[in-house]
Amino acid sequence: MGELSITASSMDLYKAKSRILLSNLSSFLRELVAHRSAFLGAVVITIFVLAAIFAPQITPHDPTKQRLQLSLLPPFWARDEGDLARLEKQAKREVLKELGELIEIDKDYLTRLEVMSMQEMIAELGKLTEQGRLDRKDLLSLKDLGKKVMVHPLGCDRMGMDLLSRVIYGTRISLLIGILVVGISAFIGVVLGAIAGYYRGWFDNLISRFCDLLLAFPYLIFAILIMVMMGGGFMNMIFALIFKAWVEFFRLVRGEFLSEKTKEYIDAARVAGQNRFKIIVFEILPNIIHSVIVLATLRMGYMIIMEASLSYLGLGVAPPTPAWGSMVYLGKQDIITGIWWTVTFPGLAILILVLSINLLGEGLHDILDPRLKVN
Amino acid sequence: MRLIKILERILMTIPIMIGVAILVFTAMRFIPGDPVDVMYGDSGFITDAQLEQMREELKLDKPFHVQLYLFLSGLVRGDLGISYTKHRPVWDLIKERFPATVELAFGALIFGLIIAIPIGIVSAVKQYSIVDRASMAAAFVGISIPGFILGIMLILIFSVTLKVLPTAGRIDPILGLSLKNITGLHILDSIITGNLPALLDSIMHLILPSIALGAVLAAIVARVLRSSMIEVLRADYITLARAKGLRGFFVVTKHALRNALIPTVTVVGIQIGVLLGGNMIIECVFAWPGMGRLAVDAIKESDYSIIQGVVMIYALTFVMANLLVDILYTFLNPKIEL
C-alpha cells in the first residue's frame, strides 16, 4: 500500500515537472517572438539552416563545377554584351556536347550549329526531332540544359564556378563548424567546470593553471599553431578551435558552481540524502544552464569568424570545397581590377549569419538571464 | 601594499611564459618531417653526410629534453634559432618586422578609442536617442564583421572605386627610400627627420588597415563604455554633483567617465589579444610588411622556426599587455586589489 502511494506521488511529480517544463518552454517562445531583434535573428538563422540542409535541391549548379569560359562573370544586373555572349556560347557548347553523346552528328552539321544563336539552334534541333533522329524527351532536356547553364544570378568566380551555389553550400561548413566546435567545447567546459567548481582541490588547480596557459595565446594565433602542427582540413580545424574554446565555458561554469554551491537549496538536497552526482546534474546544472546557452550562442558567431579567418589564411578547408573564407581569399586577388562580386557575396553571407547569431545570443541573454529581469 | 601586489602579478607571468615556451616547442616537434629536409631536401647538391652534419649543428640529433633546454636558454638570451628557409636568425627577421606591426596596432588602437569614447559617452548621456540607436546598431555590425572582410570592402570602396587611399604596403617605395630608419616606425621617423611627404604618405597607408583592425575594438569599447556610463550616471554621487550645480559636461567627463572607464580598461585588455590575432590577417589583406605576414609566409614555406618565434613573440606581447592593463587597473580603481 505504502509503495503504491509513493509510486503515485512520483508519477504526479513527474507530470507536474513536465507541465512546468512545457509552460516554461511556451513562455520562452512567447518572449522570443516578442523580442523583435532576437526573433529576427532566429528567423534568419533558420533560413541559413534550411539552405544548408537543402543545398543540393536549391542550388542551380554543382558548387565545384568549373566553367572556365565563364571566369569572373558579373552578377546578372551588371553584365555587358560580351558577358551575355560568353554565357550563350557556354550554354551552346554544353548543349552540343550533350547532343553529341545522344546521337551521331557529322562535323559539318556541328560547325553549322555552332555559329547559330541559341534560339536558332534549338529550332534546328526541333527539325531533328521532326525527322525522328532526336527523341522529343531529349530535345526538352537539352533545352533545359541550355537554360540551366545560363543561370548564374550572382555570377562566377575566377575558376568559373557559380557563386550562388558556392555561397549556399558554404553555409554547411560555417554552420557545421559553429555547431560542432561550440557544442563539444560547451560539453567539455561544463563537465570539467562542474567537477572543478564543486570539488575544488588539485583537479581544479590543474585545469585552472592549464587554462591560464592557454589564455596567454591570442585565440587565432593559437589555432594557427595547432593547425600548422596538424595540417589543414575540416577535422583538424575543429580540433584546433576546440583546443582553446572550452576554456571560456569551463571558467563560466566553474564560477557559477562556486557561487551556487554555497546556497541553501544545496544544503537541503544534501540533507535529503541526494548524492553528489545528482546534486551536480539535477540541482545545480539546471540553474546555470541558461548562461551556458547564452555564451554558446555568442561564441558560435565568433567561431564562424575564426573558421573564415583560418580558411582565408589557407589553413582551413581547401578549395574547391566551398567555404566562405577561402572564397574571399580567392576573390581578393581580383579586387584591384574592380571585380567586387567574388568577395562581396561570401563576405555578406558571413556578416549576415554572424549578425543574426549575435542578435539571437543577445536576445537570449535578455530573456534567459533572471538577474536582468529583476532590474 | 599595492606595490607588493603588482610585483606578485609581474612574477606570476614568469611561469606562464615558461609554460607557453614549452607548449610552443612541443607543438613544433609534433610536426612530421625534418627541418633539414625542408631546408636542403630537394636541392640534390648535398650529401647525406652533410645533412647529418647539419642536423648536428641544429642540435636535432639531441634528445627532446636537451633540445627543450637549449631552446629555453636560447630564449632567455633572445635567441630564437635560425630560419630554415631564409638562413638568418629568426630574432633579426622579427626585429625588422616588429615596428610595422606595432605601428598598425597603435593605429588601430587610436582609431578604435577615438571613435568609441565619444560614441560611448554620447550614447549613454542621450540614451535611446537617434544617435544612440544608430551608433549601437553600427557597433553591433562592428562586432559581427570579420576584420579581413571589412578590410577588403574598404579597399573596394576607397582604393578601387574612389581611388583616394592606397591599397597595400606601408609607404610608397620611392618615398620609402628617402626615409631614414631610426625607430622603424615610419610616422615617428618621418616626424623626427622632418620628412613631410613621407609622413603624409605613411598616414595615408595606415588609415584603411587601422580601421579594418580597430573596428571590432571600437564597437566593443563603445558598447561597454555606454553601459557602464549609464550605470555610473545613475549613482548618487552624480546626482550630488549635479545638485551642487556643476555643469552637465563637467559632471560627465570629470566624475562619471573616470569610473566608467574601469570596466572599459578590462575590455581593452581582453581585446588586445583579438587585435594581435586580427593583425595577422589584416597584414595579409593590406600586404603590410609586419610580423603577422612574416608568419603567414612562413606557414606557406613550412618554415617552422619562424612560426615558433613569431608565436612566442605574440604570446609574450599578449601577456605583457594584460599585465600592463592589470597594473593600470589598480591605479584607476584603488578599491580593487589584484
Residues on chain B touching A224 (C-beta within 8 angstroms): 280, 295, 299, 307, 311
Cis bond upstream, residue A320 (ω within 30): yes
For residue range A155-208, what is the model confidence (pLDDT) as tens digits? 898 888 999 999 999 999 999 999 999 999 999 999 999 999 998 889 999 999
Q: Does A239 touch chain B (CB under 8 A)?
A: no
Nearest CA in chain B to A375: B231
Query: Using 50, 70 and 90 to split pLDDT, how confident is the model at B180?
Result: confident
Asked if A218 lies within 8 A of B318 by C-beta distance, the reply is yes
Q: What's the pLDDT at B191?
A: 85
- Dihedral pair phi/psi, residue A156, rounded to 5°: -130, 165
The arithmetic mean of pLDDT across residues B12-38, rounded, is 81
Q: What's the pLDDT at B155?
A: 93
Residues on chain B touching A315 (C-beta within 8 angstroms): 299
How far apart are the C-alpha atoms of A116 and A229, rounded to whole Å? Answer: 56
Asked if A224 lies within 8 A of B278 by C-beta distance, the reply is no
Q: Which residue has the cell 540607436?
A: B133
- DSSP bridge partners of B89: B82
Q: What's the pLDDT at B51?
A: 74
How far apart are the C-alpha atoms of B58 and B153, rounded to whole Å? Answer: 45
The arithmetic mean of pLDDT across residues B110-135, rounded, is 90
Q: Does B319 touch chain A (CB under 8 A)?
A: yes
* Alpha-carbon gap: A333 to the closest alpha carbon of chain B (Å): 10
**What are all long-range contacts of A225-228, with beta carbons under 8 Å and residues at least 24 apart?**
A225/B24, A225/B27, A225/B307, A225/B311, A226/B27, A227/A310, A227/A315, A227/A316, A228/A315, A228/B31, A228/B299, A228/B304, A228/B307
Asked if A220 lies within 8 A of B161 by C-beta distance, the reply is no
Q: What's the pLDDT at B34?
A: 67
Closest to B120 (Cα-Cα) out of B203, B39, B233: B233
B34's torsion region: left (phi>0), alpha (psi -120 to 50) or beta?
beta
Q: What's the pLDDT at A9?
A: 61
Q: What's the pLDDT at B66?
A: 85
Q: Does A243 touch chain B (CB under 8 A)?
A: no
How far apart are the C-alpha atoms of B225 and B119, rounded to whole Å? Answer: 9
pLDDT at A4 exceeding the cut of 60: no
Is there a contact between B152 and A335 (Cβ–Cβ < 8 Å)? yes
Nearest CA in chain B to A301: B144
The arithmetic mean of pLDDT across residues A62-74, rounded, is 88
Amino acid at A171: T
Asked if A313 lies within 8 A of B311 by C-beta distance, the reply is no
- Dihedral pair phi/psi, residue B185, rounded to 5°: -85, 115
Q: What's the pLDDT at A135?
A: 80
- Dihedral pair phi/psi, residue A162, rounded to 5°: -65, 125
Query: Using 50, 70 and 90 to split pLDDT, how confident is the model at A2?
Result: very low
Q: Mean pLDDT in chain A?
A: 86
User: What percentage of chain A exceeds 70 in pLDDT?
Assistant: 95
Q: Which residues in chain A (251-310) have CB-CB distances under 8 A to chain B? A: 301, 305, 308-309
Name the residue facing B280 among A221, A228, A340 (closest C-beta).
Answer: A221
A223's torsion region: left (phi>0), alpha (psi -120 to 50) or beta?
alpha
Q: Does A335 touch chain B (CB under 8 A)?
A: yes
Closest to A279 (Cα-Cα) out of A249, A299, A312, A257: A257
How far apart are the C-alpha atoms of B188 and B182, rounded to whole Å? Answer: 9
Asked if A221 lies within 8 A of B311 by C-beta distance, the reply is yes
How far apart are the C-alpha atoms of B6 and B3, rounded to whole Å? Answer: 5
- DSSP of B92-159, one letter per residue? HHHHHHHHHHHHHHHHHHHHHHHHHHHHHHHHHHTTTSHHHHHHHHHHHHHHHS-HHHHHHHHIIIII
CB pairs under 8 A between A and B: 120
Query: Using 50, 70 and 90 to split pLDDT, how confident is the model at B335?
Result: low
- DSSP bridge partners of A162: A156
Q: Does B31 touch chain A (CB under 8 A)?
A: yes
- DSSP of A94-151, one letter per residue? HHHHHHHHHS---HHHHHHHHHS-HHHHHHHHHHHHHTTSS-HHHHHHHHHHHHHHH-
Query: Which range (A91-105, A361-375, B105-119) has the least confidence?
Result: A361-375
Closest to A39 (Cα-Cα) out of A286, A366, A299: A366
Closest to A332 (Cα-Cα) out of A348, A349, A344: A344
Q: What's the pLDDT at B112?
A: 92
User: What percentage of chain B exceeds 90 in pLDDT?
Assistant: 19
Is there a contact between A288 and A32 (Cβ–Cβ < 8 Å)? no
Asked if A313 lies within 8 A of B276 by C-beta distance, the reply is no
* Alpha-carbon gap: B255 to the closest alpha carbon of chain A (Å): 24
Residues on chain B touching A301 (C-beta within 8 angstroms): 144
How far apart are the C-alpha atoms of A169 and A133, rounded to whole Å? Answer: 39
Please state the ipTM of this predicted complex: 0.86
- DSSP of A69-102, one letter per residue? GGTTPPPGGG--HHHHHHHHHHHHHHHHHHHHHH
Q: What's the pLDDT at B37?
A: 67
Q: Does B208 touch chain A (CB under 8 A)?
A: no
Considering all CA atoms of chain B, what is the largest pairwise distance in Å, rounded to the nearest integer?
87
The arithmetic mean of pLDDT across residues A300-318, rounded, is 89
Q: pTM of the entire structure?
A: 0.88
Name the residue facing B31 among A229, A301, A340 (closest C-beta).
Answer: A229
For residue range B247-260, what is the model confidence (pLDDT) as tens digits? 777 777 777 887 78
Q: Tally DSSP H helices, then E strands, for chain A.
A: 17, 0
Q: Which residues are CB-contacts of A276 (< 8 A; sequence separation ≥ 6)? A: A198
The arithmetic mean of pLDDT across residues B104-125, rounded, is 91
Q: Does B16 touch chain A (CB under 8 A)?
A: yes
Asked if A354 lies within 8 A of B144 by C-beta distance, the reply is yes
For residue range A255-295, what is the model confidence (pLDDT) as tens digits? 889 888 888 888 888 888 888 888 888 888 888 888 899 89
What are the b/e assignments for B310-334, b being 16+ CB within 10 Å?
Answer: bbbbbbbbbbebbbebbbbbbebee
* Alpha-carbon gap: B179 to the closest alpha carbon of chain A (Å): 27
Q: What's the pLDDT at A51?
A: 94
pLDDT at A154 exceeding the cut of 80: yes
Is there a contact between A298 and A361 (Cβ–Cβ < 8 Å)? yes
Q: Is A153 helix (H, G, I), strand (E, B) or coil?
A: coil
Asked if A218 lies within 8 A of B30 by C-beta distance, the reply is no
Name the residue facing B311 among A225, A335, A344 (closest C-beta).
Answer: A225
How far apart are the C-alpha atoms of A167 and A196, rounded to whole Å? Answer: 42
How far apart are the C-alpha atoms of B218 and B221, rounded to whole Å? Answer: 5
Q: Does B299 touch chain A (CB under 8 A)?
A: yes
* Alpha-carbon gap: B53 to the closest alpha carbon of chain A (Å): 26
Query: Using 50, 70 and 90 to split pLDDT, how confident is the model at A26?
Result: confident
Query: Using 50, 70 and 90 to split pLDDT, how confident is the model at B42?
Result: low
Query: Which range (A236-250, A264-278, B86-100, B173-187) has the least confidence?
Result: B173-187
Is there a contact between A250 and A203 (Cβ–Cβ < 8 Å)? no
Q: Which residues in chain A (1-40) have CB-CB distances under 8 A to chain B? A: none
Residues on chain B touching A228 (C-beta within 8 angstroms): 31, 299, 304, 307
Q: Which residues are CB-contacts of B133 (< 8 A; sequence separation ≥ 6)? A: none
The arithmetic mean of pLDDT across residues B126-132, rounded, is 88
* Alpha-carbon gap: B180 to the closest alpha carbon of chain A (Å): 30
Q: Is A162 helix (H, G, I), strand (E, B) or coil?
A: strand
How far apart are the C-alpha atoms of B132 and B188, rounded to whole Å? Answer: 36
For residue range A82-140, what is the model confidence (pLDDT) as tens digits? 888 888 888 888 888 888 887 777 778 878 877 888 888 888 888 888 887 778 888 88
Query: Using 50, 70 and 90 to split pLDDT, how confident is the model at A375?
Result: very low
- Dihedral pair phi/psi, residue B269, rounded to 5°: -60, -45
Q: Does B30 touch chain A (CB under 8 A)?
A: yes
Residues on chain B touching A339 (C-beta within 8 angstroms): none
For residue range B188-215, what is the model confidence (pLDDT) as tens digits? 888 888 888 888 888 999 999 999 999 9
Q: Which residues in chain B (136-155) have CB-CB distances under 8 A to chain A? A: 140-141, 143-146, 148-149, 152-153, 155
